Structure 1
Amino acid sequence: MLSSQSQATDRASLRRSNDSAGRCHYTFTVASPEESSCPGGSVKPEMDGVMSRVILLEALVSQLLAGADGGTRTRVESNTEEGLQEAYAQVTRERNQLQQEKERLNKQLQEQQRRLGELSQEAESLRQKPCKQTHTSGGAQHDSRPASDPANDFKNGAYQEMKAEVTKVQASHLNTDENQTITDCGELLSVGDPVLHRKADSITGKYGVWLQDPEPLGPHYTKKTVWRIDAVGKDVRQLFAFEDMDQFSRGFPMKVLVLPEPVESTGATIYRGSLYYQRKRSRSLIRYNLTSESLASRLELPHAGFHGQYPYSWGGYTDIDLAVDEQGLWAIYSTSKAKGAVVIAQLDPESLAVKQSWETNIRKNTVGNAFMVCGRLYTVASYTAPNTTINYVFDTATGTQRAVAVPFKNKYRYTSMLDFNHGQRKLYAWDNFHMVTYDIRVGRANQGSS
């Protein structure tokens, strides 16, 4: 009995320890005298529980880390989006500012164009006021005076009576029938300063044609009607019609005609209700009836160079230049036979057939432009020099030519078109976007004064 108790004492133990709450616990442990181990007893379940808690903890930590990283990316993306929105807003503000500035400049341009039109109209009105008549030993002679001159006093009855008589005498020298045998013709003595009527407002107006019909036919269009073609472009077909010079200066066409064939360069002209022009890339001449708005005649100009073979010195495919004066319709061009010298042909205004031609000694590519007055060809030495001269004259009546030196001004430094209008007694020119006219003075035949 004592032996058994002694063995049990050896196997029993008392242990004292604090729990997690700090309270003291006494644990008395006695080993089993019969079982060396407890069935199913193991520390594995406890270890499994610890491992499960560790795995769960790691998963939570991973989720937290992933959430922190996603937040960083979200913040970066948010910052990037905010930057783009701010940049777009800045660009929008700048675009709106530019649009406002454009509108302001357009308003200024329109105002300047309006003022220019008013000034041009006023200048034209002043220029057309009656001029004073000066007395010489040979009688009364026509002489221009400023609009402020006392001779323009309409209350002066004696002056008005004299003016009426002078006007009547001048009218007797003009044509009295449709065949128009001109007697008041002579050699060009002087060309006045250019008077501006309109400035083109786009690149298509760099050069072109603008004219008035010196002898209009029919009720649709009159001598006041102004015609314009902007000649810059690959397919030039538009012909603008303006009611009068005032509407032309303001830029308000009353009609736009579409031509059946494209126009080549600036050699077109208007005469007796028809537009005459050279078809693009050909030597074909076309007569376009302005009233019926249809092609009336077409004919090739025999042997004429075209599309850059024999242009004026400024180029522009000005190989064939059509012109009108008191004696009718003319073509100014050259041929291979003439070797680049100017050839003048008088054309039938109905059929466009050549009635007669003359070959000159003037090299076409050495002159800036040319025009006809009273059956005489006049050439301009330069198309760009501000102060140049009309340097040659060829008289078709005698078949002779000679050098002259009549001062001429290219005010805007690029005269691409120059034509005479015998109805207005003016030269019409297109000078670097600017449409201008020149007054001229012509000496009467066999006389030394105009």
Structure 2
Amino acid sequence: MFLLLSLCLCGLLLRGDAQDRAALWRGNDRSGRCQYTFTVPSPSEASCPQTGGPEMEGLKARLSILEVLVSRLTGGDTGVPQRPGAGAQSELQEALNRAVGERNLLQGEKGRLERELEGLQRRMEEMRRETERLRNRPCPPQTPLVPPAPSLQSGGLMRPSGGSSQMSHLMTRPNRQGDSSSLRDSAWQYGSPGFQELKAEVTEVPAPDGSEDNTGCGELVSVGEPVTHRKADNIEGKYGVWMQDPEAVSPYGPSMVWRIDTIGADVRKLFGYEDMEQLSKGFPSKVLLLPDQPVVSSPTLASMASIPYSWGGYTDIDLAVDEQGLWAVYSTNKAKGAIVISQLDPHSLEVKRSWETNIRKKSVANSFMLCGKLYTVASYTSPETVINYMYDTETSQGKTVSIPFRNKYRYNSMIDYNLAQRKLFAWDNFHMVSYDIRLGRQQAN
């Protein structure tokens, strides 16, 4: 009995001790859900064979959530510590570098395609000019074919009926233009045709001397490629004018070339060269000093409006000389900016007659007079532009045209017709260039 009582007392004491060490745990499970756990220490086991517990499970769940958040912030790389956003910045920089590289490649390809396009345009222009040249060239007169040669019998030519053994002069007689005599030699008799040979007659056609398109007047048909004669020596030569006097007087010869660098009111030096060769070498034979103020005797010219071409510069009044005389190209406030053409007296500069066109002076790059007709150029910077308008003072009518024109150096500040050489002279970004022209035949009235 005493032993049984002792065992009960020990059990109560152990239960009380266990109750004093009981604990209630609260924490999230792996899915993040809140979980309550009541724990009591084992009365007999000092330790469990496996470690862990609700607190460990809660910590594991929280660590899992943190790992997910860190993975999202660092782009999935949890092996190397990074501050938030560093991975995204690296990816953006890499994408930017790729975009820049692709842009550079595309720009290079664009440049190559532009060069190929320019080459194709030049070839098309050359083919067009060649087609126009062939179309306008007169066809040679049609000539008959030489009659069939005598037939061969027994391996030799038939003899003439008269028994003569001399060779006919058929193959040696020239067929000159205007010779209407027959090519048939009456001394020959034709036998049965055993072998015949047809030969085409070769007719000599006089070669063109190149003066057909450069004499008389007509409408402008085409403009050739620019030919560079000289590049200006210094920065003052970006703009300028150069010209020849079609009616040169002593002591200056007809081949004298005149040049002025830098268009403006302060320009006073006029350089003279004996000919085009001396110009290309840069050896002036004359240097003239111009007066401080130009003398304008005509009140009409003095009252012209200050309206330049689209490139600007000192182009308010453009003087021109062609087969019809002296011209002034300008504008007035009354014309509302439209180009006005006036024919001037070369001695007094008085206006003899004026024409008002339908094209604005500021909308075109430049203009020139040729055979009494005004032609305007669309652009002064585009390498491939066009002559886009023509006004005929004889008919007082204007019309749009499309004649290819090339600005080789991409800043053409002067275009004028040179009557002495029947070419266009231009000043294109430091360079003095000329253009051959071709005119159509003058239409009969």
Task: Give the drift of 1:202.
Answer: 0.8
Q: Distance in 2 between matches of 1:315 and 1:408?
A: 20
Q: In structure 1, what is the equivalent of residue 338 of structure 2?
A: 341
In the TM superposition, what whole-angstrom CA distance separates every residue of 1:26-48 from its partner, at most 9, and x where no partner exists?
xxxxxxxxxxxxxxxxxxxxxxx
- Assess if the C-alpha contact under 8 Å between 1:205 and 1:232 holds in 2: no
Contact kept in structure 2, 1:187 and 1:442, CA below 8 Å: yes
Q: Does 1:245 align with 2:276?
A: yes
1:101 maps to none
Among candidates 219, 234, 255, match of residue 187 of structure 1: 219
Structure 1 stretches of 4+ moved >6 Å: none
- Name 2:17's counterpart in structure 1: none
State the Cα deviation string for residues 211-232 of structure 1 (Å, max 9, x = none): 112222x332122111001124
Q: Is the 8 A contact 1:204 1:233 kept in 2?
A: no
| Post-superposition CA distance 1:257-307 (Å, at most 9, x none) | 111235xxxxxxxxxxxxxxxx4xxxx64xxxxxxxxxxxx334346445x
Q: Distance in 1 between matches of 2:225 and 2:332?
A: 34
Is the aligned partner of 1:223 residue 2:254? Answer: yes
Alignment of 1:14-413 (within 5 A): 136-137=138-139, 162=206, 184-216=216-248, 218-232=249-263, 235-262=266-293, 279=294, 285=296, 298-302=297-301, 304-306=303-305, 309-413=306-410
Q: Distance in 1 between matches of 2:303 and 2:329?
A: 10
Structure 1 pair 160–319 and aligned structure 2 pair: CA distance change class (3 A): farther
Unaligned runs of 5+ in 2: 1-132, 142-202
Q: Is the 8 A contact 1:304 1:333 kept in 2?
A: no
String of CA shifts for 1:133-152, please: whole Å, max 9, x gaps.
Answer: x974267xxxxxxxxxxxxx
Distance in 2 of aligned mates of 1:303 and 1:223? 31
SS at the partner of 1:301? helix
**Partner AA of 2:270 in structure 1:** L
1:204 to 1:414, Cα distance in 2 relative to 1, 3 A: same
**Paired residue for 2:60?**
none
Residue pair 1:329, 1:346 contacting (<8 A) in 2 also: yes
For the 8 Å contact 1:334–1:340, the answer to whether it is kept is yes
Aligned residue pair count: 253
Distance 1:395 1:367 in 2: 17
Provide the C-alpha distance between the structure 2 equivalents of 1:382 and 1:437, rounded to a whole number of angstroms: 17
The separation in 1 between residues aligned to 2:302 and 2:277, in whole angstroms, is 42
Q: In the superposition, relative to structure 1, how do residues 169 and 387 fare at CA in structure 2: closer, same or farther (>3 Å)? A: closer
Deviation at 1:203, TM superposition (A): 1.2
Structure 1: any 5+ residue segments left out of the alignment? 1-130, 140-158, 175-183, 263-278, 286-297
CA contact under 8 A between 2:304 and 2:332: conserved in structure 1?
yes
Partners of 1:206 and 1:232 within 8 A in 2: no
Distance 2:232 2:325 in 1: 30
Q: Deviations over 1:353-412 (max 9, x none)?
A: 111000111100000000001000000001111100000000000100000000001111
CA distance 1:261–1:301, shift in 2 (3 Å)? farther
**Letter matched to residue 211 of structure 1:** M
TM score, norm. by length of structure 2: 0.52
Secondary structure of 1:235's aligned partner: coil
The structure with the largest strand share of the pair is: 1
Maintained 8 Å contact 1:304/1:334: no
Q: CA RMSD in A?
A: 3.1
Asked whether the equivalents of residues 313 and 368 of structure 1 are also in contact (C-alpha less than 8 Å), the reply is yes
CA distance in structure 1 between the partners assigned to 2:279 and 2:327 by the alignment: 27
CA–CA distance in 2 between the matches of 1:213 and 1:161? 37
Given the superposition, is the C-alpha separation of residues 304 and 387 from structure 1 closer, same or farther in structure 2, using an over 3 Å criterion?
farther
Distance 1:234 1:245, change over 3 A: same
Corresponding residue of 2:416: 419
Question: What is the identity percentage for the equivalent residue pairs of Structure 1 and Structure 2?
Answer: 60
Decide whether the 8 Å contact of 1:386 with 1:409 is kept in 2.
yes
Seen in structure 2, the aligned counterparts of structure 1 residues 160 and 214 have a Cα distance that, compared at 3 Å, is: farther
User: Are the structure 2 counterparts of residues 160 and 244 from structure 1 closer, same or farther at C-alpha, using a change threshold of 3 Å?
Assistant: farther
- 1:410–1:396: structure 2 CA closer, same or farther, 3 Å change rule? same
